[in-house]
């Protein structure tokens, strides 16, 4: 089968219709699937998502372009179905439809759902938040379970770890807001949800097992994960509750970004793709699955029907759930042509939809590197954002060496790369070093961050690399890191709890002695709640840190000078001060209406500098406070801190 001519198949059988999957037409239901090389396809209908309750199995009719079709003269809303494919007159194992948009418990069977019956009250009346410029976004990465599973979340136990936890108003831990209240208070514009599409490794039928996963083990791309719903056995329950989450966030001016994982499937030979059309949807070399994802396989986005599948899936999430953007896991495994076509199709739906991803892979792909969406090919897909690992490592030190120091912890060599990050990783006439960090087509392409779900949290990294410093000193380092990420050109990205020093403690194995590194969990993808759950009492304990992040976000949102979307604007409106002390970074932002001076001081000692001529005010000190008094002349930037001054009109 692996010797199939895929180019010929694409040319002969590509189908451009938008009706694959299930279509309910009042008193009849139509099923369509694509399998051009199959010798027969059967549909199996069930009463439930699991169990021995088959209603009937029927052969489907073969149409042009490799389509298989059947029309049932009844409304099948509430029924479940699978397909059985035959190749060379040999039946493969029964499988869920890859185009299934709803499913039963654990995603073994597709569910026929009339989506009109799943809309919450006022669903059509709620407007999506505006985001005309990607740099206007402040993204906050959240895992559905992490945000509310701990009792300190203040959420009713029946909703903890569920979609509905983010719909509960006025949740608190002591005197501080949690969950939705926290998001509103912090001032972020978008929540990026770790995968909420149906994934494989959590048993939805037994939620009492307290299983955990990030969700990068995709099973059904168009179905929602049932463990986040209050009733995984009811396909409509997860749909309705996720819509409630989206609606509630939209009501509060917060957009919803989905983390999508089209680059690989959790199962390989047993995946729905392989059982539908063996070898077509994955890449191979010498008859074996290639492993560019590091997870056992990689999908073949360059094949027309796989490309169409990804685009159809994204369009479905936007149209049905009003999603505001997508973050692509291991985006470099997708070919550049597909990535650009996705952006084209999203633009047709809504040009304000955000789209960004990881510009790297998890292993070696057989596809030519110059055809893949690697970060170093960024100019070929400049409308799509990429995670800025250069600014990440320059701020806190190398991610994969826990002891490595960055700019905030005293690494002098990090300053040149950091300056590239400050300008949004676009060319700038004042910068001539760290050319490898000058990769962005426009500032909108640079997703600036120093912490995400992967690897150690920023706080844990500082506890390892700056272990000999006091906690108060490390807090200053954390706050300076936040100032750099939030006040640099590009798109700022934060992880849930970063603003109150989130930590991920590791459970030591029996007999294991603690050391600097192993007391923290660096890769918590399947660690228990002990490690991953957000403990909201830390917000109360480190409220000064939260308040500082909040002030920085408000400052960024107060002026377009912190959110320049074009490289020519950065070139004209941002200027570094030339000082002998290269580690003390000062830059100006200016246009005909406003002027700011921003200083980043990584030294333990205070640094002084002279403000330009005129009257200024301190709009953000080392604690995030502003002072409405006239200032001029020589001013101070305290040790390991940021200060921002604004010229008074």
pLDDT at 308 over 70: yes
Instruction: Quote the percentage of the chain above a pLDDT of 70.
Output: 100
Residue 587, H or E segment? strand 585-590
pLDDT at 80 over 90: yes
Query: CB-hemisphere CA count at 13 Å for 211?
Result: 16
Catalytic residues: 329, 358
Sign of CA dihedral 490, 495, 499, 503: negative
Question: Quick one: pLDDT at residue 582?
Answer: 80
On the 0-12 / 13-18 / 19+ scale of CB atoms within 10 A, 547 is middle
DSSP secondary structure, 596-619, as one string: EEEEEE-SSS-EEEEPPSS-EEEE
Question: Quick one: pLDDT at residue 1?
Answer: 46
d(C-alpha 142, C-alpha 339), whole Å: 24
**Helix crossing, 179-186 with 543-558: angle to 10°?**
50
List, for residues 499-555, the tens digit of each pLDDT value. 999 999 999 999 999 999 999 999 999 999 999 999 999 999 999 999 999 999 999
**Mean pLDDT for the stretch of residues 7-30:** 97
pLDDT at 242 over 50: yes
d(C-alpha 188, C-alpha 138), whole Å: 5
Question: Quick one: pLDDT at residue 210?
Answer: 84
Per-chain mean pLDDT for the chain: 97
List, for residues 83-124, the tens digit of each pLDDT value. 999 999 999 999 999 999 999 999 999 999 999 999 999 999
Which letter, b or e, does each residue of 51-60 get, where b requires 16 or more Cβ atoms within 10 Å of its Cβ?
eeeeeeeeeb
pLDDT at 579 over 80: no
In this structure, the strands spanning 385-388 and 446-448 are parallel
d(C-alpha 21, C-alpha 112), whole Å: 10
Question: Quick one: pLDDT at residue 580?
Answer: 65
CA dihedral 95, 98, 103, 104 (to 10 degrees): 20
- Assign 207 a pLDDT band (cuts: 50, 70, 90): confident
- Whole-Å CA distances, 402 to 158, 406, 468: 38, 11, 14
Question: Quick one: pLDDT at residue 208?
Answer: 81
**Mean pLDDT for the stretch of residues 275-279:** 97
Q: Domains, the chain, ranges and CATH?
A: 6-118 (2.60.40.10), 136-562 (3.20.20.80), 573-647 (2.60.40.1180)
List, for residues 450-482, the tens digit of each pLDDT value. 999 999 999 999 999 999 999 999 999 999 999
d(C-alpha 306, C-alpha 107), whole Å: 20
- Assign 3 a pLDDT band (cuts: 50, 70, 90): confident
473 φ, ψ (degrees, to nearest 5):
-70, -40
Question: Quick one: pLDDT at residue 247?
Answer: 98
């Amino acid at each position: 089968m692996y010797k199939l001519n895929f180019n010929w198949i694409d040319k002969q059988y590509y189908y451009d219709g938008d009706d694959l999957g299930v279509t309910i037409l009042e008193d009849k239901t139509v099923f369509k699937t694509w399998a051009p090389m199959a010798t027969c396809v059967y549909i199996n209908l069930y009463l439930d998502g699991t169990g021995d309750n088959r209603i009937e199995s029927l052969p489907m009719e073969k149409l042009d372009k490799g389509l298989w079709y059947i029309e049932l003269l009844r409304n099948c809303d509430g029924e479940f179905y699978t397909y059985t494919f035959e190749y060379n007159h040999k039946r493969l194992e029964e499988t869920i439809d890859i185009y299934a948009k709803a499913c039963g418990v654990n995603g073994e069977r597709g569910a026929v759902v009339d989506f009109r019956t799943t809309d919450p009250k006022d669903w059509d009346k709620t407007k999506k938040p505006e985001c005309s410029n990607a740099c206007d976004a402040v993204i906050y990465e959240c895992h559905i379970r992490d945000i509310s599973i701990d009792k300190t979340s203040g959420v009713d136990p029946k909703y903890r770890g569920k979609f509905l936890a983010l719909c509960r108003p006025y949740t608190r831990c002591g005197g501080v807001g949690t969950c939705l209240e926290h998001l509103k208070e912090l001032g972020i514009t978008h929540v990026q949800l770790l995968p909420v599409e149906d994934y494989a490794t959590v048993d939805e039928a037994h939620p009492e097992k307290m299983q955990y996963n990030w969700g990068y083990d995709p099973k059904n791309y168009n179905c929602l994960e049932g463990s986040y719903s209050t009733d995984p056995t009811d396909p409509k329950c997860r749909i309705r509750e996720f819509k409630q989450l989206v609606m509630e966030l939209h009501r509060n001016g917060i957009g919803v970004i989905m983390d999508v994982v089209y680059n690989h499937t959790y199962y390989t030979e047993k995946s729905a793709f392989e059982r539908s059309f063996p070898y077509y949807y994955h890449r191979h070399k010498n008859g074996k699955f290639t492993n560019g994802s590091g997870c056992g396989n990689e999908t073949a986005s360059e094949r027309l029907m796989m490309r169409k599948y990804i685009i159809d899936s994204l369009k479905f999430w936007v149209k049905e759930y009003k999603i505001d953007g997508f973050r692509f896991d291991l985006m470099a495994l997708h070919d550049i042509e597909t990535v650009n076509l996705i952006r084209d199709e999203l633009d047709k739906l809504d040009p304000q939809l955000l789209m960004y991803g990881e510009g790297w892979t998890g292993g070696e792909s057989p596809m030519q590197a110059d055809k893949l969406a690697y970060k170093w090919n960024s100019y070929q897909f400049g409308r799509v954002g990429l995670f800025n690992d250069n600014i990440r490592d320059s701020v806190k030190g190398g991610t994969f060496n826990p002891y490595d120091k960055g700019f905030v912890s005293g690494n002098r060599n990090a300053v040149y790369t950091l300056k590239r990050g400050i300008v949004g990783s676009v060319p700038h006439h004042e910068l001539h070093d760290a050319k490898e960090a000058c990769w962005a087509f426009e500032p909108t392409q640079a997703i600036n961050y120093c912490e995400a779900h992967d690897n150690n949290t920023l706080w844990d990294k500082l506890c390892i690399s700056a272990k000999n410093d006091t906690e108060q000193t490390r807090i200053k380092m954390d706050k300076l890191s936040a100032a750099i990420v939030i006040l640099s050109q590009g798109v700022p990205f934060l992880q849930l709890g970063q603003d109150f020093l989130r930590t991920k403690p590791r459970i030591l194995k029996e007999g294991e002695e603690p050391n600097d590194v192993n007391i923290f969990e660096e890769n918590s993808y399947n660690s228990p709640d002990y490690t991953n759950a957000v403990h909201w009492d830390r917000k109360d304990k480190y409220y000064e840190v939260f308040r500082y992040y909040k002030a920085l976000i408000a400052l960024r949102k107060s002026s377009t000078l912190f959110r320049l979307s074009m490289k020519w604007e950065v070139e004209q409106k941002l200027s570094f001060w030339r000082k002998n002390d290269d580690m003390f970074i000062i830059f100006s932002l200016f246009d005909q209406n406003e002027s700011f001076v921003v200083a980043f001081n990584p030294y333990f000692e205070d640094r002084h500098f002279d403000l330009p001529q005129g009257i200024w005010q301190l709009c953000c000190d080392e604690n995030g406070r502003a002072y409405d008094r006239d200032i001029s002349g020589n001013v101070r930037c305290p040790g390991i801190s940021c200060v921002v001054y604004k010229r008074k009109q």
